[in-house]
């Protein structure tokens, strides 16, 4: 069974996202530990890409800061390995990056490394259902879940995607790119209903969630919430001193949905 399911056992999952290497890999590591301490059920670790086409300005900025700081995949892999072996982090961890980052490293080598260091899943926003064959066999052979996304525009496609989903389903709450929004107008409940009719894989909602009120609403409609830009903004503001405020933010969000 997918280890990712553990994040959803008998509770609404809180899933924070951070960009690895922003502002540096040491801070990223501290952030992961602090977020876990404050109730994160699964952590999404962004591997920076030069041209993140699914991201809004906040996470684009984080990618740029991390790349300018000299981040690379080997440093990120080492950090994850240490989190697992030295820091005793046992919750599911997934990578979020772009297809070219995996492809250029060599898919075989990438997923093999994921297995070795203790990554449970990979989210690639530019790899839709039609193209998942690019990596699916290889990721499965190493026991890594390739996470499927469902969008507000997925009408007629949700059942097809849900039936083959692994790990969890990432429900994109709104049109457009990542970033905080004052209101989420999509009828997510009806998307979740179709998902649930077709799979028992849990689903979490992301894109645009920044307040405990939004989180509560989205958690009620699904199995969990994903928050990225709101956390990255705190990291952007406080840099190396962001560990404590990020921990507090995660604590508040997790408490709100518990």
Partner 1 sequence: MDNKNGRFGIHGGQYIPETLMNAVIELEEAYNHYKDDEIFQNELTELLNNYANRPSGLYFAEKLTRELEGAKIYLKREDLNHTGAHKINNVLGQALLAKKMGKTRLIAETGAGQHGVATATAAALLDMECVVFMGEEDTKRQALNVYRMKLLGAEVIPVTSGTATLKDAVSEAMREWTSRIDDTHYCLGSVMGPHPFPIIVRDFQAVISKEIKEQILKVEGRLPDAVIACVGGGSNAIGSFYNFIDDKDVRLIGCEAAGRGIDTFETAATINTGKLGIFHGMKSYFCQDDEGQIAPVYSISAGLDYPGVGPEHAYLHDIGRAEYVPVTDDEAVEAFEFLSRTEGIIPAIESSHAVAYAMKLAPQLEKDKIIVITISGRGDKDVAAIARYRGENIYE
β-bridge mates for residue 17, sequence order: 44
Going through 82-193 in order, the beta strands assigned E by DSSP cover: 93-96, 121-123, 145-150, 169-172
Should residue 127 be labelled a site residue for partner 1 when binding is judged by CB under 8 A?
yes
What is the closest distance, in whole angstroms, from the C-beta atom of residue 140 to partner 1 in the complex?
19
Tell me the sheet residues that pair with 46.
19, 96
Residue 175 interacts with partner 1 (CB under 8 A)? yes
Q: Minimal distance in Å, beta carbon 37 to partner 1?
A: 31
What proportions of the chain, in percent to the nearest 5, are helix, strand and coil?
50, 15, 35
Site string for partner 1, 36-55 (x = CB under 8 A): -------------xxx-xx-
- Contact with partner 1 (CB under 8 A): which of 16, 46, 56, 247? 56
Number of residues that bind partner 1 (CB under 8 A): 41
Asked if 130 is part of the footprint of partner 1 (rule: CB under 8 A), the reply reads: yes
- Min CB(255)–partner 1 separation in Å: 31
E-assigned strand segments in the chain: 13-19, 43-46, 93-96, 121-123, 145-150, 169-172, 203-206, 224-227
Please tell me whether residue 68 adopts helix, strand or coil conformation: helix
3-state secondary structure of 210: coil
Considering the rule CB under 8 A, would residue 75 count as an interface residue with partner 1?
no
* Number of other residues whose CB lies within 10 A of the CB of residue 23: 20
User: 101, 201, 215, 253: which one contacts partner 1 (CB under 8 A)?
Assistant: 101
Site for partner 1 in 177-216 (CB under 8 A): 177
In angstroms, what is the minimal distance from the CB of 52 to partner 1?
A: 8
Distance CA 244, CA 251 (A): 10
Judged by the rule CB under 8 A, the positions of this chain that interact with partner 1 are 49-51, 53-54, 56-57, 60, 67, 72-73, 98-105, 125-131, 134, 149-157, 161, 172, 175-177
């Amino acid at each position: 069974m997918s280890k990712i399911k553990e994040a959803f056992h008998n509770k609404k999952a809180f899933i924070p996202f951070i960009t690895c290497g922003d502002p540096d890999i040491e801070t990223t590591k501290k952030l992961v530990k602090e977020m876990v301490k404050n109730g994160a059920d699964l952590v999404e670790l962004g591997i920076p890409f030069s041209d993140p086409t699914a991201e809004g300005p906040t996470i684009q900025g984080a990618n740029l800061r991390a790349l300018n700081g000299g981040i690379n995949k080997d440093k990120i892999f080492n950090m994850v390995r240490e989190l697992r072996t030295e820091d005793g982090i046992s919750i599911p961890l997934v990578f979020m990056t772009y297809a070219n980052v995996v492809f250029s490293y060599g898919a075989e080598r990438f997923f093999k490394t994921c297995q070795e260091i203790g990554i449970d899943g990979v989210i690639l926003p530019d790899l839709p259902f039609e193209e998942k064959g690019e990596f699916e066999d290889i990721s499965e052979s190493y026991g890594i879940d390739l996470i499927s996304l469902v969008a507000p525009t997925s009408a007629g496609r949700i059942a097809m995607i849900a039936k083959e989903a692994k790990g969890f389903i990432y429900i994109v709450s709104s049109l457009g790119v990542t970033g905080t929004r004052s209101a989420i107008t999509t009828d997510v409940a009806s998307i979740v209903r179709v998902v649930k009719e077709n799979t028992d894989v849990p689903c979490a909602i992301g894109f645009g969630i920044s307040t405990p009120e939004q989180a509560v609403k989205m958690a009620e409609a699904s199995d969990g919430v994903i928050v990225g830009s709101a956390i990255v903004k705190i990291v952007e503001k406080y840099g190396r001193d962001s560990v404590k405020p990020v921990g507090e933010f995660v604590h508040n969000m997790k408490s709100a949905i518990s």
